[in-house]
Structure 1
C-alpha cells in the first residue's frame, strides 16, 4: 500500500497483504476508481480526489500539470470544471493534464497528455504527487488555453496565488521559444493582473477593455477626503469614478447583501457610480459590454463631484 495525496490507496493485492480485508474493500469506506485499484473515501474534496485517482495510474515518469497542478498547490478556482453542479453525476470536466517524456504515450480518456521534456527544476512534489512548478504550470496553462480570455483567467489565478510572476513567466517563455501556443502566452502577459481575486473578476475586467475602459484598477481601497475607509471596489475606472462589482453567489446571503447595500451607499455618496454585474449578465457579454460603455459615457458627460481617494495596492 502507498500514500497518494495523503489518502490510503493501493492495488488490491498490496492492500490485502497489508491487512485490509476483502469485506473492508467492498464496504462504503473504500472505492475502486480503476480495475484492481482501491482507495479510501476519507478525502471529501471531490476535485482533489479526482486528481489523486489519476495520479495513482499515470505512468511513473508522468508529472501532473495544468489546472490539476495548480489546484493541488492551492489555486481552488482552477478546478477543471469538476466543482460545477452536476459533475458528480456524470457531466465531464476537463481531463487531468499529465506531462510525459516525448517518447511516452497514454491512452487513458481521463488523462490529457502533453509530451515534453521537463527540467528537474520544473517539478515539485505536493502530497506525494509530482507536479509542475508554478512557472511551468502557468507556461502550459496560458499557451494551451482555448482562447486568450481563458489564458488571462488562468494567469490571473496563478499570479494571485503567488505561484509565479509575470516577469518570471516572460523569462521562462523566452527560454522555451518555438513551443506551441507561446504567441498566445505573450499576448496574455500584458493583460495579467495579480490583484484579480476570482475568474469572474478577470473576465469582467477584459469586458471593460472591450468597452473602451483601459485603465482599470482592481480591488482598490477607497476613502473619503477625511481618510475614512469606505470599502474595496472590484474594478474602478479612476478618471470617471465608474466602479464595477461582481456579485457572486455569496452576495445573495441576506447579511452579505445588507453589508453590500450599505457599502454601496457610502461609495455613491462620495461620487462613485456603481455598476453591479451577476453571473447572468456574464452570459450575455455583448449586452454587458454595451451596458458598461453606456455607464462610462454617462459618467464622462455628467461627472459627479469627486469626494473620494483610492490607495493603490501591490500585486
Structure 2
C-alpha cells in the first residue's frame, strides 16, 4: 500500500498512521524506519537534526521541550545538535518524569528557570537558556564562541545586556563560574565562529585583543574596509578568509582592490584560512606578533 501523501515526506506516529488506514503489516514495511518507539518515517527522508526532532515531536509529551545542545543548534548556534552517540536533548518540566526513549538524553528543568519558544514548529528553550545549560559541559572557549554567535553582527539573537542578566541568574548553578569567565570574553558584532576562535588564539598567545569588525578609513576619511580583527593603533589587520572568498570571483576581485587600498593607507594585512591549523597557525600568529612589534607595540 502506498503511503498517503501527508505521511510520505515527514515522520508520523503509529497512531496517526492507523487513522490514515495503515495496517500493522504496512507500519512494519521495509520502506519505513523507526527513529523512536511509536514513530515511523519513510526511509528516503534525510534524518538530519530537524527531521529527528520532528520525529520525536510526534510522541512528545506536552510537558517536554528540546534543551541543551539540541536547542542551541535549532536556534542556529554553531554546535552539534546531536551528541556523539546520536542522542538529542529533551527535558520534562518538573515535576514530570524524565523523557525516556532510545536516542534521547533525558533532562528535567524547572519552569521558572527557562523560557520556552517555538522554532520551526518545535518547542525549545530560548537560545540564551541553552547557552547557560551548556556551561556545565562545554569548555570556556566554546562558550565564548556560542556567546559571540548570540550577539553576532548579522541576525543577532540576543544582546550583551541579556547575556549579562543570564550569567547573573546562573549564580550557584553548575558551570556558573565557567560561564562568567566566558561571558567576559564575548564580543558583539562578530561574523563567524572561525573569527572568534582566531581572536581567542591571538589573545591567548599573549597579543593584545583586536577590535572586532571595525571600519577602517584612509587619510582623507574615506572608508576603505571593515576589518575582521583590527589593531587600529598599529595599523595591523587580521582577516579570516572563509570559503566565499575563494569560490566567489566577484568577492575575490573586491578583496584584491580592498587589499590595495589598505596597503596604500599603510596597513599590514595578515590573512588566515581553514588551512591554518597546528604549526601553520602558530607561525601565522607569530607573523601577527612581528607586525605589531614592527609597528611600535611594546610587546607586553
Q: Does 1:150 align with 2:176?
A: no
Shift of 1:52: 2.3
Q: Matched residue pairs, number? A: 283
* Distance (Å, rounded) in 2 between the aligned partners of 1:183 and 1:14: 47
Q: Is the 8 A contact 2:78 2:146 kept in 1?
A: no
Residues 201 and 259 (structure 1), Cα distance of their counterparts in 2 relative to 1, 3 Å cut: same
* Distance (Å, rounded) in 1 between the aligned partners of 2:128 and 2:286: 35
Q: Is the 8 A contact 1:211 1:290 kept in 2?
A: no
Q: Which residue of the other structure, out of 265, 269, 280, is the alignment partner of 2:264? A: 269
* Corresponding residue for residue 220 of structure 1: 214
Residues 110 and 158 (structure 1), Cα distance of their counterparts in 2 relative to 1, 3 Å cut: farther
* Corresponding residue for residue 19 of structure 2: 17
* Corresponding residue for residue 300 of structure 1: 293
* Corresponding residue for residue 240 of structure 1: 234
* Corresponding residue for residue 50 of structure 1: 52
CA deviation map 1:25-47 (0-9, x unaligned): 9597x754234412468987933
Q: Which residue of the other structure, out of 181, 195, 199, is the alignment partner of 1:201? A: 195
* Corresponding residue for residue 119 of structure 2: 126
CA deviation map 1:247-300 (0-9, x unaligned): 22222215033432332222122111111112221x31x653453244233333
* Distance (Å, rounded) in 2 between the aligned partners of 1:53 and 1:131: 15
CA deviation map 1:56-85 (0-9, x unaligned): 445542211234323433x26344379xxx
Stretches of structure 1 that go unaligned for 5 or more consecutive residues are: 1-6, 83-91, 304-315
Residues 269 and 67 (structure 1), Cα distance of their counterparts in 2 relative to 1, 3 Å cut: farther
* Corresponding residue for residue 230 of structure 1: 224
* Distance (Å, rounded) in 2 between the aligned partners of 1:9 and 1:168: 36
* Worse overlay, 101-110 or 254-263: 101-110
Residues 107 and 32 (structure 1), Cα distance of their counterparts in 2 relative to 1, 3 Å cut: closer
* Corresponding residue for residue 273 of structure 2: 278
* Corresponding residue for residue 37 of structure 1: 39
Residues 228 and 67 (structure 1), Cα distance of their counterparts in 2 relative to 1, 3 Å cut: farther
Stretches of structure 2 that go unaligned for 5 or more consecutive residues are: 1-8
Q: Which residue of the other structure, out of 55, 72, 79, is the alignment partner of 2:74? A: 72
* Corresponding residue for residue 96 of structure 1: 88
* Corresponding residue for residue 117 of structure 1: 110
* Corresponding residue for residue 253 of structure 1: 247
* Worse overlay, 104-113 or 196-205: 104-113
Q: Is the 8 A contact 1:58 1:98 kept in 2?
A: no
Shift of 1:107: 4.6
* Corresponding residue for residue 3 of structure 2: none
Shift of 1:211: 2.5
* Distance (Å, rounded) in 1 between the aligned partners of 2:85 and 2:218: 45
Residues 295 and 106 (structure 1), Cα distance of their counterparts in 2 relative to 1, 3 Å cut: same
Q: Is the 8 A contact 1:242 1:296 kept in 2?
A: no
**RMSD of equivalent CA atoms:** 3.3
